[in-house]
């Protein structure tokens, strides 16, 4: 682990757990996965189906690996983000010639980051720092590993699509996984803010992803109002159309991400972490599955109560009942087996 401090005074978070910034729906899924006995062994076996060495060689041969002598400023940003979030191993980062503004964290044993030139050309230094912190957050949360595993499971599951109702079953799995991926993106946006500690830069990033570089033609207040208008929709039909539009997306829309990071910063959790009040990695083994499931259900209820979407209003009662049933199921399970799955109860 590097002992070099960031290029300017930023707060560091020694021993921070990814639970500090993870969206409740993302966190409950990860806590449940991590608590399963033998899960790590299965995970490594499944991850082994993808040749990480071949992937790394592909990027080593076809892209530019950042370092002291190549993209030095980006190398410093990765180092700083790892230092601030107390990531034990500084990940490699490769710059790929691709005009699409995108970045990703991939791999299992030694995850690494790939950054497209389209994103470098689009963003200024502080915005880019936010994006790199976002990707380091994916690595700290284990998203790179879990997403790799989930993709493998999807590929294996697609072979069963010929079975009766198989396509419906696979589609349901894909919908569920994409919902988790979108929540994981919201988690990593928070990690990006913690790494860069510049809320305006985080917001500018979302605006540029939606409308390009001409920030002089945009307004953060108007963009937030646009997010509110998107949330409110027009009627139940519009709400259903939004839902259907979002299903194939791997990321939430930029206006949603803008509104979410603005709300997270305004409601005090960001300030508490900045002040040193955050869960530590050393306590991760004691995280409660049932508590995190209840937190996820609470988060969804709160988001439903905030939204003005009439479609959500129509399904709220049914979803609340389902969430309550899920919480009760976990409660019964943990009462029967109060072992390592839920050590805090």
Residue 55's CB is within 10 A of a number of other CB atoms, namely 15
What was the pLDDT predicted at 98?
97
Catalytic (active site) residue 135: yes
Is residue 143 a part of any domain in this protein?
Answer: yes
pLDDT, tens only, 204-218: 999 999 999 999 999
Q: Which of 22, 127, 135, 292 is catalytic?
A: 135
pLDDT tens digits, one per residue of 81-137: 999 999 989 999 999 999 999 999 988 778 999 999 999 999 999 999 999 999 999
Give the residue numbers spanning the domain of 263.
Answer: 18-287
Of the ranges 12-21, 157-166, 211-220, 281-290, which one carries the lowest mean pLDDT score? 157-166
Is residue 314 in a domain?
no
Comparing 27-36, 144-153, 331-340, which segment has the lowest mean pLDDT? 331-340
How much is the pLDDT for 36?
52
Residue 332: inside a domain? no
pLDDT at 303: 55
pLDDT digits (tens, 9 = 90+) for 278-304: 999 988 877 665 665 565 555 555 554
Average pLDDT, the chain: 78
Q: What's the predicted TM-score (pTM) here? A: 0.76
In this structure, is residue 65 part of a structural domain? yes
In a domain, residue 308? The reply is no
Q: Is residue 327 part of a domain?
A: no
Q: What is the pLDDT of residues 38-91, one digit of tens each?
A: 555 555 555 555 567 778 899 999 999 999 999 999 999 999 999 999 998 999
- What is the Cα–Cα distance from 149 to 157, expressed in whole angstroms? 12
Task: Let me know if residue 316 belongs to a domain.
Answer: no
Q: For residue 169, what pLDDT band results from cuts at 50, 70 and 90?
A: low
Number of structural domains (the chain) is: 1
């Amino acid at each position: 682990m590097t002992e070099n401090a960031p290029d300017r005074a930023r707060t560091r978070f020694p021993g921070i757990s990814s639970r500090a910034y993870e969206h409740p729906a993302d966190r409950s899924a990860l806590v449940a996965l991590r608590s399963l006995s033998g899960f790590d062994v299965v995970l490594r076996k499944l991850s082994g189906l993808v040749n990480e060495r071949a992937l790394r060689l592909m990027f080593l041969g076809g892209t530019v690996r950042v370092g002291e002598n190549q993209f030095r400023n980006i190398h410093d940003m990765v180092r700083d983000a790892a230092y601030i979030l107390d990531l034990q191993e500084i990940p490699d980062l490769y710059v790929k010639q691709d005009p699409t503004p995108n970045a990703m964290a991939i791999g299992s044993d030694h995850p690494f980051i790939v950054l497209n030139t389209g994103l470098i050309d689009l963003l200024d230094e502080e915005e880019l720092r936010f994006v790199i912190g976002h990707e380091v957050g994916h690595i700290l949360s284990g998203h790179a590993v879990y997403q790799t595993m989930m993709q493998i499971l999807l590929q294996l599951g697609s072979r069963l699509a010929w079975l009766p109702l198989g396509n419906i079953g696979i589609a349901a799995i894909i919908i569920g996984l994409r919902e988790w991926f979108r929540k994981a993106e919201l988690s990593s946006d928070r990690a990006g803010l913690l790494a860069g500690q510049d809320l305006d830069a985080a917001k500018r990033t979302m605006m540029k992803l939606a409308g390009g570089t001409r920030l002089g033609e945009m307004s953060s207040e108007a963009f937030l109002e646009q997010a509110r208008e998107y949330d409110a929709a027009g009627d139940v039909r519009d709400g259903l159309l939004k839902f259907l539009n979002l299903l194939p997306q791997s990321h939430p829309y930029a206006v949603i991400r803008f509104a979410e990071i603005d709300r997270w910063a305004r409601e005090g959790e960001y300030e508490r972490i900045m002040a040193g009040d955050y869960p530590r990695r050393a306590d991760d083994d004691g995280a409660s599955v049932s508590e995190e499931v209840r937190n996820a259900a609470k988060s969804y209820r709160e988001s439903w109560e905030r939204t003005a979407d009439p479609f959500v209003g129509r399904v709220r009662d049914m979803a609340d009942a389902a969430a309550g049933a899920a919480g009760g199921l976990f409660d019964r399970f943990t009462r029967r087996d109060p072992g390592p799955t839920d050590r805090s109860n």
